[in-house]
Amino acid sequence: MKVLYGLVFALSGLAQTAQAETMIASHYNARAPDIAAHRTLPMGTKLMITNPRTGRSVRVVIGTRGPFVRGRSLDISHKLAKDLGFGKSGVLPLETRVVRD
């Protein structure tokens, strides 16, 4: 019985960590600083984005499509890139997870 409970606990832990994803992000001139672009996530999806190098996090809402550059999966505003500590880098791997209010 102990093995069964341990397996259920391990599988439930996997589901929570599977929601986090690493995306390659770039930044652009967004009309609203909290709007991000993604090719496939539904419009209105809310994400918590974290820069693993700095530990800084921001919340965004998917409000447009893009990026259309190979190898990039998320576009964020210049303001958010600055808040996350992009520095002079135009492209950076970030950790993302969907948040629900």
**pLDDT tens column, 72-99:** 889 888 889 889 988 777 888 999 999 9
Mean pLDDT of the chain: 77
pLDDT of residue 20: 56
Task: Give yes or no for residue 17 having a pLDDT over 60.
Answer: no
pTM of the model: 0.72
Do 92 and 65 form a contact (C-beta atoms < 8 A)? no
- Per domain, the residue ranges of the chain are 21-98
Look at residues 78, 99, 100 and name the one whose alpha carbon lies nearest to residue 89: 78
Long-range contacts of 40-44 (CB under 8 A, 24+ apart): none
CATH no., domain 21-98: 2.40.40.10
